[in-house]
Amino acid sequence: MEQKQKLLGYYNYTVILTYIGMLTGFVGIVYAFESNAFSAVICLMIAGFCDMFDGTIASTKERTQQEKCFGIQIDSLSDLICFGALPAIIVYSQNRGNNIILAICALYLLCALIRLAFFNVDEQERQQSSTTSREIYYGLPVTLSALFLPVVHGAVCLFSWKPTIAPAAALLTMAIMFLLPFPLRKPKLIGKICVILCGVMEVGFVLFACDGV
């Protein structure tokens, strides 16, 4: 007989960072709707930071199979909001009424959805036959939009470009790379440190280039 729970879902420390990242992504979407692209991009980077460590934190606790499956699902659902919807809305919010940009943003979101759904299926199958952590990803992880799009946004601010071609090209390129099955090794500790350093420099670049606008 199944044990009844007070609330559906799980609320231990292994999922808290994922929840924080998702809420940050939602705040970023609100900022984008309010035409505050700078704050929306900052939220995107914060969500990327949360995503980088949520898996590491989750691995510190022995979890049931159901908890592991829940973690896979909630992580991808959060990623769809933070790294699918948020980047698309940021770019479109700066190009309202441009149907070409709208189509590119929609395609980007669709490709992110397909990749995340495929990853969920693949990861669940992998965990049924292996107890080790994943070493190789195929295709560009959607979370890397938290690195690429802020750089593009900073360049748009710094060089006074129109926020049309470069951000749209970035979204289109990432959308294609989400679905291309090229191997990409999961970063170890040194790789994560390098990503963090890049992220810190990127935050400084965006703050300098955009100056809060």
What is the average per-residue pLDDT within 17-21? 93
Q: Are the CB atoms for 26 and 170 separated by under 8 Å? A: no
Beta bridge partners of 136: 185
Let me know if residue 5 belongs to a domain.
no
* C-alpha 84: how far from chain center: 7
Q: How confident is the model at residue 131 (pLDDT cuts 50, 70, 90)?
A: low
Say how far apart CA 88 and CA 108 lie, in whole Å: 7
Share in percent of the chain as helix, strand, coil (round to 5): 75, 5, 25
pLDDT at 212: 58
Q: pLDDT tens-digit profile of 95-104? A: 999 999 999 9
Q: Any bridge partners for residue 137, and if so which? A: 184
DSSP state of 63: -
Q: Is the pLDDT of residue 119 over 70?
A: yes
Residue 193 resides in a domain: yes
The pTM for the full model equals 0.90
pLDDT of residue 160: 86
Cβ 154 vs Cβ 209: under 8 Å: yes
- What total of structural domains would you count in the chain? 1
Residue scoring higher pLDDT (64 or 42): 42
Inside any domain, residue 175: yes
| Three-class DSSP category at 152 | helix
- pLDDT higher than 60, residue 2: no
CATH assignment of the domain containing 115: 1.20.120
- Whether residue 145 lies inside any domain: the answer is yes
In a domain, 172, yes or no: yes
| Residue 6 forms part of a structural domain | no
66 falls within a domain: yes
Task: Please give the C-alpha separations between residue 69 and each of 9, 53, 65, 93, in angstroms, as whole numbers.
Answer: 11, 18, 6, 35
pLDDT at residue 1 is higher than 50 = no
169-201 confidence digits (pLDDT tens): 999 999 999 999 988 887 777 777 888 888 888
Task: Kindly report the backbone phi and psi dihedral angles of residue 137, in degrees, each rounded to the nearest multiple of 5, phi listed first.
Answer: -105, 155
Question: What does pLDDT average to over the chain?
Answer: 88
- Which 8-state DSSP code applies to residue 7? S
What mean pLDDT is predicted for residues 69-91? 94
Cβ proximity of 142 and 79 under 8 Å:
yes
Domain of 73, in residue numbers: 13-210
Average pLDDT for 203-209: 88
In a domain, 75, yes or no: yes
pLDDT of 4 over the 70 cut: no
**What is the per-residue pLDDT for 190?**
79
- pLDDT-derived band at 71 (thresholds 50, 70, 90) equals confident
